Structure 1
Amino acid sequence: MDEAVLAAMARWPNVPEVFGWLGLDRRGRWRLRGEPIDHPGLRDFIARNYAHDERGRYFFQNGPQRVFVTLDYTPWVLRLQGETLLTQCGTPFAEAAQVLIDENGSVLLAGAGRQVGLIDDRDLPELLACLHDPAGQPPGDDAFEDVDRAQLTCSLGRRAWPVRAIRSSELAARFGFIAQPAD
């Protein structure tokens, strides 16, 4: 976090928390009361001061005030830049362990600890081209009907991750985050 933010927190420790104003959409865009935040400086400030509490509620620390983030799906949205996966904050995603595909076709990466990030839909064609079956062949359409049985692997550069199915309703509990934080 920014030094100025840490100093403000120490100076004013009892500022009320804010809920329902700030959101993160499925493309990694910050939204204020539903409208995209277009100012690059504000987006960068939010990204530098984005964290979570012990309950799994993600927030932006705005000086002494904690502004909780409503998540459209996951706390992280990932973009591919070459062989690197970057979060919406512009930082590399923690070491990925597996690729997950939900019943709606959303593709996610499970990272170190309990981190999970949704792949931005604009990068899906590139990532899906990295999938292969045990024989090294691209998967057929039927592979996505039963992802676990298809035994797919996602190979990106020198890394290879198993591909597993997940139900979207299980995601928050499995990865310990609260998508709709409340007081």
Structure 2
Amino acid sequence: MDDIVRQAIAKWPNVPNCYGWLGLDARGNWYMRDDQTQGAGTFAGGSAASKGSLLKHDKLIDFIARNYESDKAGQWFFQNGPQRVYVELEATPLVWRIAGGPDFAVTAHTGKAARVQRCILDEHGRVYLDTQLGFGLVHTQDMLHAADAIEQGLWVPQEVLTRELPQRFAYVRSPAASQPVRP
């Protein structure tokens, strides 16, 4: 977390949390979701209108990545100064990029390097990795590298149903869904 963010938290400790305004898709892209977008439906499984506006500003994306973490309940958030902005997840809290062999280095969409602890395969053939940073989906463009690591026996996939992933790996796809409905 950035030092300036820690200072803001200390200065303004009681800023209310924000829900529904930021989404992370299955390819590691961030989306801003205004009131109209949120009214169009959920981020995961919703329409294109409910996804929001793709963030393209590199410095903002880097700031979010440096200040992205989870709380004890498994809800992921971006610490925006003194305010927690809880993230709606299309799939998982992290999206993994995989380098080619022989080492198959794993990096989160946030740019942080990770060590693979477990490989998961769901009923749709999607590959996930559990690491010291948390749980995430392998980016679609890196499935060939993941397949190579599996074929070489470096990762041995365990089969898990998609619907079981959030509970088993302790993450919440929609923190906003647990909030009271706004009038």
Coarse TM-score class (shorter-chain normalised): 0.7 to 0.9
Q: Which amino acid aligns with 1:67?
A: V
Kindly indicate which of the two structures has a greater share of residues assigned to strand. Answer: 1
Give the drift of 1:131: 2.8
Compute the TM-score of the two structures, normalised by the length of structure 2.
Answer: 0.81
Q: 2: CA distance between counterparts of 1:80 and 1:161? A: 13
Structure 1 residue 84 and structure 2 residue 105: aligned? yes
Q: Give runs of ≥4 in structure 1 deviating > 4 Å.
A: none
Give the drift of 1:98: 2.1
Aligned with residue 98 of structure 1, among 118, 141, 151? 118
Q: 2: CA distance between counterparts of 1:42 and 1:179? A: 22
CA RMSD, aligned part only?
A: 1.4
Structure 2: 5+ residue stretches without partners: 34-51
Matching residue of 1:149: none
Aligned with residue 43 of structure 1, among 48, 57, 61? 61
Matching residue of 1:30: 30
SS at match of 1:44: helix
Report 1:166-177 matches (<5 A): 166-177=160-171
Q: Which amino acid aligns with 1:35?
A: S
Structure 1 residue 74 and structure 2 residue 92: aligned? yes
Q: Which amino acid aligns with 2:142?
A: D
Structure 1 residue 121 and structure 2 residue 140: aligned? yes
Q: 1: CA distance between counterparts of 2:83 and 2:73? A: 17
Equivalent residues of 2:99, 2:145 under 8 A apart: no
Q: Which amino acid aligns with 2:75?
A: R
Q: 2: CA distance between counterparts of 1:112 and 1:125? A: 23
Report 1:136-151 matches (<5 A): none
Compute the TM-score of the two structures, normalised by the length of structure 1.
Answer: 0.81
Q: Which amino acid aligns with 1:63?
A: G
What number of residue pairs does the alignment pair up?
Answer: 156
Structure 1 residue 59 and structure 2 residue 77: aligned? yes
Which structure has the larger Rg over C-alpha atoms? 1
SS at match of 1:129: helix
Structure 1: 5+ residue stretches without partners: 133-153
